[in-house]
Amino acid sequence: MSLALIPGSFDPFTLGHVNLVERTAKLFDRVVVAIMVNGEKNDTGGGCFTFVERAAIAAASLAHLDNVEVITDSGILVELAERIGATALVKGVRGVGDFDYEYTLAQINRRLPPTVETLLLPADSVYDHISATMVRDLLRHGRIPEGCLHPAAMALIKSIKFKN
């Protein structure tokens, strides 16, 4: 059984992320989406949503996919891949900036046991303008960005934002 791992901080999970997972789910028997701690983004601050909220938003956005599971992890990515038996890490890239960053990470990950292949999928042109950073910025200013989030995610985000 083939298993792909799609890691990210996903703060929040956008329609671009949904598209990446849907496309990956057609290529692999199982897909695990891992909500990860991103040290560069300082997960304990600066983010828009908590770890638990991000996982709930992702799960709501992906509920229509039977072969996809959402988990959380704060460890080293290749160790997670080994633990769950993933043979591939799948990352989406929107342009050359994303590619350069993900290419460097892929080279580092190839040198850490276990060896796991990284697949870089170009973003669908319908979604390549969407970034979680842009969505976060709009949300912080009280705006719900239309066309950037799955309807289930939008409903969940509205309930989270109005509770806080």
Buried b (16+ CB within 10 A) or exposed e, 20-59: bbeebbeebebbbbbbbeeeeeebeeebbbebebbbbbbb
pLDDT confidence of residue 141: 87
Per-chain mean pLDDT for the chain: 89
How much is the pLDDT for 145?
82
Q: Which domain does 107 fall in, by range? A: 3-163
> In this model, does residue 42 exceed pLDDT 50?
no
Percent of the chain with pLDDT over 90: 67
Residue 29: give its domain's CATH number.
3.40.50.620
Tell whether the model's pLDDT for residue 24 goes beyond 90: yes
pLDDT in tens, 136-155: 999 888 887 889 999 999 99
Distance from chain centroid for Cα 111? 23
Question: What Å distances lie between residue 136 and 67, 96, 122, 126, CA to CA?
Answer: 28, 22, 22, 19
Looking at the structure of the chain, the number of domains it has is 1
pLDDT of residue 38: 67
Q: Is the pLDDT of residue 13 over 90?
A: yes
Condensed to tens digits (0 to 9), the pLDDT of residues 61-103 reads 999 999 999 999 999 999 999 999 999 999 999 989 889 998 8
